[in-house]
Amino acid sequence: MPRATAATQSRSLTEDRESDLEGFVGYNLKRAYLVFSADFRRALGRHGFGPRQFSALSLIVQFPQITQSELARKLGIERSGLVAIVDELEGRGFVARMPVPGDRRVQALAATKDGRTAYLHAREVVRSHEETLLSDLTPDELDTLNGVLRKIRESEA
Amino acid sequence: MPRATAATQSRSLTEDRESDLEGFVGYNLKRAYLVFSADFRRALGRHGFGPRQFSALSLIVQFPQITQSELARKLGIERSGLVAIVDELEGRGFVARMPVPGDRRVQALAATKDGRTAYLHAREVVRSHEETLLSDLTPDELDTLNGVLRKIRESEA
DNA sequence: GATAATCGTTTACTAAGTAAACAATCTGTC
DNA sequence: GACAGATTGTTTACTTAGTAAACGATTATC
């Protein structure tokens, strides 16, 4: 069994030879997220997708007729913040706002054919960008990472 | 006007056991980072520290006489972005900009006594906030998380 | 000694979000 | 059926965290 490398003494309270900062999960989480974010833009920027548009379109494709409030809830952002995202997706012809018979307040969202096509293509680009970024990880590490990130997310109030 | 029948059959297009989005590490990384970030502010907001001020002060305490350029490099941000952070730390009396004998361009940064005290206190608050957030993780998971985040960070160009 | 590079800084800009208010609409209670 | 209260999408104003380009002062290089 390949044991963890020698660089895992980080739990000591008094050993200060490496930066304190590197020992904080929050800081490392932010830096790792920034690496992903920058690479995402490199990979999908030319396709005209930012992370927010991609996330929103993904959920719209997957949950047809979802309302804006529900989508905002799933994304963890405010309704007001979602308006601009949907505006842009609609402006590109990827998404349509549609009235809902029973309730005239809500706008149901549906991906157009173009939107679905663009999403399926973008999804493959994102998969490949992630595969590259994560290529140094063992399958075990990848599994643990996914599980841990989910645990952290679920600990949210 | 694109017709969109109420009965959408797009479910058969994808193998969609759960949301595509949940399968992307980048998205989960962002959500997890936001959980940490919000909790960090809850924990240290009343102490007047944001994540940026905390990170900068941490490195200044650990590397006395560090220059602003070097600090920016370590933090992974632009020099121009660091100015406001140092301004604030200096305004609170936590940090002093000092001239360096050999080179009149640079400003060496040093934590004041107040700055060191405030940092040591804040560090304990951060440790406790992280401990709480990560309490659902096994020691193995925590080790793997730290290692994986580091690997991702080091893959940066 | 001219030219290039570096440092801290300012200014203008961008991205991504929140918070509060608003009109329109829906729901539950009397 | 009327009416108080909640909900929806939206606008507006604001905040946060950063980048990019230019600048004067200085230092390094040829």
Nucleotide with the nearest C1' to A52 CA: C16
| Cβ-defined contacts of A111-118 (< 8 Å, 24+) | A111/A57, A111/A60, A111/A61, A111/A64, A111/B10, A112/B2, A112/B4, A113/B2, A115/A57, A115/A60, A115/A61, A115/A89, A116/A61, A116/B10, A116/B13, A118/A47, A118/A49, A118/A57, A118/A94
The residues that bridge with B96 in the sheet, in sequence order, are: B110
Range in B20-29, B42-51, B68-77, B97-106 with the lowest mean pLDDT: B42-51
Task: Read off the tokens for B130.
Answer: 């992280």
Q: How far does the CA of residue A121 sit from the closest CA of chain B (Å)? A: 13
Nucleotide with the nearest C1' to B104 CA: D26
pLDDT value, residue B157? 58
- The mean of the pLDDT values for chain B is 86
**In A89-108, which positions are buried (b, 16+ CB within 10 angstroms) versus exposed (e)?**
bbebebbbeeeeeeeeebbb
Q: What is the mean pLDDT of residues B122-140?
A: 92
Q: Which residues of A touch B8 (CB under 8 A)?
A: 64-65, 110
Alpha helices in A77-137 (DSSP H): 79-91, 113-133
pLDDT value, residue A49? 87
Residue B66: phi and psi, rounded to 5, are: -65, 145
Alpha-carbon gap, residue B19 to B109, rounded angstroms: 48
pLDDT value, residue B47? 80
Q: Which residue has 């063992």 as its token pair?
A: A138
pLDDT at A87 over 90: yes
pLDDT value, residue A155? 81
Alpha-carbon gap, residue B52 to B57, rounded angstroms: 8
pLDDT value, residue A20? 86
pLDDT higher at A93 or A1: A93
pLDDT 10s digits, B69-100? 999 999 999 999 999 999 999 999 999 999 99
pLDDT value, residue B18? 60
Task: Read off the tokens for A124.
Answer: 């493959």
Alpha-carbon gap, residue A153 to A18, rounded angstroms: 29
Range in A11-25, A82-96, B57-71 with the lowest mean pLDDT: A11-25
Q: How far does the CA of residue A94 sit from the closest CA of chain B (Å)? A: 11
- The mean of the pLDDT values for chain A is 87
pLDDT value, residue A46? 76
Work out the percent of chain A whose per-residue pLDDT is above 70: 87
Residue B112's pLDDT band, with cuts at 50, 70 and 90, is very high
Report if CB A107 to strand C is under 7 Å.
Answer: no
pLDDT at A130 over 70: yes
pLDDT 10s digits, A37-55? 999 998 887 787 899 999 9
Residue A9's pLDDT band, with cuts at 50, 70 and 90, is very low
Distance B83 CA to C10 C1' (A): 10
Q: What is the mean pLDDT of residues B129-152?
A: 92
Q: Which residues of B touch A22 (CB under 8 A)?
A: 150
Contacts of B131 (CB under 8 A, 6+ apart): none
On whether the CB atoms of residues B137 and A151 are closer than 8 A, the answer is yes
Q: Which CATH number fits domain B20-155: 3.20.20.370, 1.10.3210.10, 1.10.10.10, 1.10.260.40?
A: 1.10.10.10
pLDDT value, residue A18? 58
CB contact under 8 A, B62 and A16: yes
Q: What is the mean pLDDT of residues A75-98?
A: 96
Residue B29: phi and psi, rounded to 5, are: -65, -45
pLDDT 10s digits, A55-74? 999 999 999 999 999 999 99
Residue A157's pLDDT band, with cuts at 50, 70 and 90, is low
Q: What is the mean pLDDT of residues B111-134?
A: 93
pLDDT higher at B90 or A6: B90
pLDDT value, residue A14? 40
Contacts of A148 (CB under 8 A, 6+ apart): B137, B141, B144, B145
Using a 7 Å CB cutoff, list residues 47-106 of B near strand C.
Answer: 67-70, 72, 79-80, 82-83, 86-87, 97, 105-106
On whether the CB atoms of residues B119 and A24 are closer than 8 A, the answer is no
Task: Read off the tokens for A109.
Answer: 């969202």
Work out the percent of chain B whose per-residue pLDDT is above 90: 73
Contacts of A40 (CB under 8 A, 6+ apart): A51, A54, A126, A129, B26
Q: Which residues of A touch B74 (CB under 8 A)?
A: 19
